[in-house]
Chain A
Amino acid sequence: MATVSLEQIGKVFGATPAVNDFSATIADGEFVTFLGPSGCGKTTCLRMVAGFIEPTRGRVLIGTRVVSDPARKISVPPEERGVGMVFQSYAVWPHMSVFANVAYPLKVKSVPKEEQQRRVDHALELMKMSDLAERYPHQLSGGQQQRVALARALVMNPQVLLLDEPLSNLDAKLREEMRLELKQLQKQTGVTIIFVTHDQMEAMVMADRIVVMNAGVIQQIGAPREIYLHPANRFVGEFIGSANFLRGQRSENGFALAASPQVILPFEPPAALTSDALVMMVRPQDITLHSSQGQLVARVAQKMFVGDATEYFVRIGDETVRVRATSREDYAVGAMAHLTITAGQFFQ
C-alpha cells in the first residue's frame, strides 16, 4: 500500500483555473474523501492522481514515486500508475462477461491463466458476485455493476483505490449498504482510498479525513467530527450540516445579536477575529426552546414535524432562525417561545 501526496497542485483549463495550490497527503491505508459542490475541482484532483489529467503546476507522488511533475516533465500515464479506479458510470464493458471484465487488468499484464482464474474468483467472492461470473452487464442491476467495477479495480491489488462518486447512481437503500461494504472492504484489504463525493453525509460516514473544496481551493482538511464541530470558515460550516448565521456585535463579556441588541449572549468571540461586527454560526440542534426563561424571545413562524424532531423557523426581530427541537414540547405557529443558544462559532 502507499501514501498519495499532492504537492501544491495547480490546474488551469485554457484560461480558467480549476484547482489552485492543492496540497494534501493521504496516508497509507487511509480513507480520504474529497468533498465539495459540483465544479469545485474535486474530480479534477482525483483524475490528476489517476493520470487522466496532468497538473499545470505541482507534484503528484504515489508512494515515493513521482508520477506527475510538469516542472521536470514527468508524466506517468494512467496505465503505469498501478491504481484502481471505480468510475461514476461504473464503466463496466458491455461486450465482456463479468468474469472477462474483472480478468481484464490481469490479462493486460499477461498473468498466467490459472492465476487469473484464482484472483478473479477471489475478487468476485469478496464482492459476493461469484455466481454471476458468466453474466453480461446488461443482465445486472446497477448495484451489481458497481460490484463488478469494484472487483475489477481490486483484482490487481492496487496500492491506491480511486472512487469517483461511485454511489451517486444507486438508490438510497443500496447506497447505504455499499457504504458499509466499502468500509469493510478497506479494513480487509488495507488499501488507500480516495473517494470523491458531493454528498456531505456520505463523506462524514465513510471518511477518516475529509478534504473540503470550493472553487478549486481547499477549505479545510480534517476528521469528519472536527470539520463538523469546528469548521474553518463560513463555507465549510454551511456546506457540512445546516447552520444559522446570525449577525451581531462583539460586546463586553459576550456577543449581541443584531436582531436583539439588548441581550448579551455569554459567548466571547476569539481575540484573533479583529473586527467587532461578526457572524455567529449556530447549528439548529444547538438551540433549545423553552416555554419561559430563555436567552431570547422569538415568534414561531413555521414548523415541520420530521418524526425524530420538530424543525421550527422562529423569528427574532427580522432574523429567521432554524431550530431543531427534540423535546416533546410543542409550540404552535404564531406562539412566542423562549430560546437558548448552547453552542456557536464566530466568523469574520
Chain B
Amino acid sequence: MRRLSIDSGQALLAFVVLILTILVVYPLAQLVIQSIQYDQQWSLGSYVRAIADESNLLALRHSLEISIAAMLGATVLGTFLAWLVARTDLPGRDFFRTAFVLPFLIPPFIGALAWLQILGPVGYLNKIHMALTGASEPLWNIYGPAGIVLVMMLHEYPTVFISVLGGLARMNPELEEAAQISGSRVFRVMRDITLPLMMPPILAGALLVFITNLANFGVPAILGFSDNYYVLTTQIYRAITRSTQPNMLNIAAATSILLALVSGLGIFLQRFYLGGKEYAVISGKSMQPNIVRLGAHRYWLFALASVVVLVTVVAPLVAILLTALVRAYGLPPLPENLTLQNFYDVLMLNQSARRGIVNSLGLAVAAATIISLLSAFIAYIIVKTKMRGRALLDFISNAPYTLPGTVVALAMILAWLKPIPLIDFRLYNTIWILLVAYVARYLAFGVRTAAGSLAQVHSSLEEAARISGAGWLQSFRDIVVPLIRPGLFAGWFLVFIPCLRELTISALLWSTRNETIGVVVFSLQQSGNTAASAALAVIMVIVLLLANLITRRLTGDKLGY
C-alpha cells in the first residue's frame, strides 16, 4: 500500500503507541502485576485468597446463574419477537420493529430503579395488590436474583432481536419456499429450515447477552445489595469500596481477572462458533419472504407484542416518572400529591446532582472529541499501512471495551493511585481519571467507525495528493480527514451517548466534586432518597432521548434507535 517517510511514519506510530500505552497497556499491565503480588512479594497469594474466599465463589456462581438465566430468557424472547416482526402478518409490524429496540435507550440500572418502583416491597403493583386483596404481603418482591434476571432479560432481548432480524433479512427466502414446495406446512418449515439456519445469529446474540450481563454492575447493585446478593462485579465493587483488609486491591485484581476470564470464555465461544458456522448466503432474486398468516392468532399475538412494549418501555418510564412527581416517596400518585419539587431539588438545590449533570456532559463531549481525533490516526495505521504490529494495535484499542467495565475501572485505580512521577500529579480522585477511563473504554467505537470509513477511501486519492506535492501529514489533513469526516462524526455520537449513561466505571472512579450523573442517581437511591433519584433518572433519560434524537437527525437515521 503505502510507505510513509521514515520520520513522519515513525513519529505517528510512536505517538499512537505512547497514547495507547498510557490509556490501555499500562493500566491492564498494572492489573495483572498487582494480581500476582501479595504483601509486596511476587506470589499467587492473591489468587489463592480470591478463590479461597467463599463469598467470591458464591458471587461467581451468582454471576453465572443470572447471566445464563437472563441469556436464555432474552434469547427466547428476542428470537420469537424477531420472527413475529419479520415473518408474520402481525398488525403494526413496522411499529413493533422500532419499539422492540427501545429498551436499549434506557440504561439497565435505570430500568432496575424503575422496576423497584413497580415491584419493590412498596412498588405500585404490590400496593395495588395489597389494597385489592387485603393481603399484608407483597405479590412479588423484585429484590434478589429473580428480579435481576427479569430486568436484565427485558433490557437485553433487543440484542438477540436485532441479530436474528438481520439473519432473517439476509436469509434467502427460496430456502424456505423449497421446504414448502416439498410439502411442509408453515410451522414445519420454521422448525426444519428457518430455526436451524438462524442458529448462528441466535447464538451470537445469546453469547453477547451473556457477556453483557456478566459485566453488568448497575442492575445487581440496585436489586442485590439490600438482599446481600452479590455477583462478581458487585463483589469487586464491595471489596474496593468497603473492605479494609490488607492486600485488598491485590485480591480484587485477582478476582477481576477471574471475571475477565469467564467473560473471555464467552467471547471465545462466540468467535469460535461464528468462525465455522456462518452459512454462505447465495442470493437469489430478492423476493418478499414468506409471510405466515397468523389468522385468529394475530389478536392475542398483537396483544402479547403490545404487552412486551408496555412492560419493557412504557411501564418503567411511567413508574419512574410518577415517583419523581410525587411529593414524598410512598404516597400514591394522586393529583394532590403531585409536585415538581423533586426536579427543582436536583436541578437547583442538590449540588452533587448539578455537578453530576455538568461533569457527565463535559466528560462525554471531551471523551468523544478526543476519541474521534485519536481514532482517525489509529484507524489509519490499521487500515492504510502495512506497519508491523497493526493487528496488535487493533487488539489493544478493542480490549477496554471487550473487558467488563469493573475490570477496566480497577485497572485504572491500580495504575493511577500513585502520583505520576516527574510531574507529581495524582490522577486518582480527580475528574481526569474518569476522562482517561472513558477514552480507553470507548476508543473501540471510534476506531471501528473510522476504520469503516477509511476502508472506503481509495488509496489513489491520497496518492494523487502526494504526487501533487503534499507531504504525508498534509495529505492526511487535506484529503483523508475530510473524506472520513462523516465517519468520525458518527463515531463522536457513538461515544457521546454511552459516556452519558456510564455507571460501572464511574461508580468506582468518582470522588467528591467529581460525580457523574449515573453515580448521583445511584448514590441517591442507595441512600434512600428515592424521589430525588427518580427525578434525576428522568432527567437523565430525557437527555439520552434528546441525544439519541439529535444523533438520528444528524446521521440521517443511520445511528441511534
Binding site for B on A (CB under 8 A): 43, 50, 52, 77-81, 83-85, 87-95, 104-105, 108-109, 138, 149, 152-153, 156
A88:B285 contact, CB within 8 angstroms: yes
Is A50 a contact of B183 with CB atoms below 8 Å? no
Q: How far is the CB of A18 from chain B (nearest CB, A)?
A: 13
Q: How far is the CB of B144 from chain A (nearest CB, A)?
A: 40
B182: chain A residues at CB < 8 Å are 79, 104-105, 108, 152, 156
B203 at the A/B interface (Cβ < 8 Å)? no
Given contacts A105-B183, A108-B183, contact A95 B279 (CB under 8 A): yes
A104-B179 in contact (CB<8A): yes
* Contact indicator B177/A87 (Cβ below 8 Å): yes
* B178, B181, B183, B283: the one within 8 Å of A93 (CB): B178
* B181 adjacent to A108 (CB under 8 Å): no
C-alpha gap A149/B185 in the complex (Å):
19
Within 8 Å by CB of B177, from A52, A94, A156, lies A52
How far apart sit A91 and B197, CA to CA, in the bound complex (Å)?
A: 12
Q: Which residues of A contact B179 (CB under 8 A)?
A: 93, 104
Binds A, one of B17-25, B188-196, B266-274, B423-431: B188-196
Give B175's nearest chain A residue, CB to CB: A91
- Tell me if A88 and B284 are in contact (CB < 8 A): yes
B280 within 8 A of A: yes
Question: A43 CA to B172 CA in the complex, in Å?
Answer: 16
CA distance A104 to B183 in the complex (A): 9
Q: How distant is the Cα of A190 from the Cα of B284 in the complex, in angstroms?
A: 28
**Number of interchain pairs (Cβ within 8 Å):** 74
For the complex, is B282 an interface residue (Cβ under 8 Å from A)? yes
A90 to B110, CA, bound (A): 49
A83, A90, A109: the one within 8 Å of B282 (CB): A90
30 interchain pairs, CB-CB under 8 A: A50-B177, A52-B177, A52-B290, A77-B185, A78-B177, A78-B180, A78-B181, A79-B182, A85-B177, A88-B284, A89-B282, A89-B283, A89-B284, A91-B172, A91-B174, A91-B177, A92-B178, A93-B175, A93-B193, A93-B197, A94-B197, A94-B280, A95-B197, A104-B179, A104-B184, A105-B183, A109-B183, A138-B279, A138-B280, A152-B182
With A52-B180, A87-B178, A93-B175 already in contact, 15 other A-B pairs whose C-beta atoms are closer than 8 Å:
A52-B177, A78-B180, A78-B181, A81-B181, A83-B181, A85-B178, A85-B181, A87-B177, A91-B284, A95-B196, A95-B279, A108-B184, A138-B279, A149-B178, A153-B181
Q: Evaluate contact between B174 and A79: CB separation under 8 angstroms.
A: no
Q: How many whole Å from A155's CB to the nearest CB in chain B?
A: 9
- Tell me the minimal C-beta distance from B157 to chain A in angstroms: 25
CB nearest to B193 among chain A residues = A93
Would you list which residues of chain B between 141 and 185 have a CB under 8 Å from chain A? 172, 174-175, 177-185
Residues of chain A within 8 A of B181, CB atoms compared: 50, 78-79, 81, 83-85, 153
A91 to B192, CA, bound (A): 14
Chain A positions within 8 Å of B192 at CB level: 104
Q: How far is the CA of A112 from the CA of B179 in the complex (A)?
A: 19
Complex Cα distance, B189 from A52, in Å, reads 14
Bound CA–CA A78/B279 (angstroms):
26
The interface residues of chain A lying within 8 Å CB-to-CB of B283 are 89
How far, in Å, is A119 (CB) from chain B's closest CB?
Answer: 13
Q: Please, which residues of chain B bring their CB within 8 A of the CB of A156? A: 182-183
Chain B residue contacts of A77, Cβ below 8 A: 180, 185
How far is B559's CA from A68's CA once the two chains are assembled, in angstroms?
Answer: 45
Q: How far is the CA of A248 from the CA of B279 in the complex (A)?
A: 59
Chain A residues with Cβ below 8 Å from B290 are 52
Q: Which 10 A-B pairs have the closest CB atoms?
A: A89-B284, A105-B182, A91-B174, A91-B178, A87-B174, A108-B183, A94-B279, A85-B181, A89-B282, A78-B180
A104 to B191, CA, bound (A): 13
B49-75 vs A, Cβ < 8 Å mask (1 yes, 0 no): 000000000000000000000000000
Kindly state the separation between the CA atoms of A138 and B174 in the bound complex, as whole angstroms: 17
Q: How far is the CA of A108 from the CA of B174 in the complex (A)?
A: 18
Inter-chain CA distance A93–B193, complex, in Å, is 7
* Chain B residues numbered 277-328 whose CB sits less than 8 Å from any CB in chain A: 279-280, 282-285, 290
Q: Which of B175, B177, B184, B285 touches A43 (beta carbons < 8 Å)?
A: B285
- Name the residue on B nearest A138 (C-beta): B280
Smallest CB gap from A80: residue in B = B183
Given the complex of chains A and B, what is the CA–CA distance between A43 and B286 in angstroms? Answer: 12
Measured between beta carbons, the chain A residues less than 8 angstroms from B184 are: 79, 104, 108
Name the residue in A43, A83, A91, A95 with the highest tally of chain B Cβ atoms < 10 Å from its Cβ.
A91
Instruction: A149 to B188: give the CA distance in the assembly, Å.
Output: 19
CB-CB under 8 A from A78, the residues of chain B are 177, 180-181
| List of B residues within 8 angstroms of A43 by Cβ | 285
* A88-B284, A89-B282, A95-B197 as given contacts; A79 in contact with B177, CB under 8 Å: no
**Chain A nearest CB, measured from B253 CB (Å):** 44
Q: What residues of chain A lie closer than 8 Å to B180, measured between beta carbons?
A: 52, 77-79
Complex interface: chain B residues within 8 A of A152 (CB): 178, 182
Report the minimum CB–CB distance from A86 to chain B (whole Å).
Answer: 9
- Residue in B closest to A87 when the chains form the complex, CB atoms: B174
Q: Assess the B174–A88 pair: CB atoms within 8 A.
A: yes
Chain B residues with CB under 8 Å of A81's CB are 181
Q: Judging by beta carbons under 8 Å apart, are B282 and A108 in contact?
A: no
Contacts of A105 in B (CB 8 A): 182-183
> Which A residues are in CB contact (< 8 Å) with B285?
43, 88
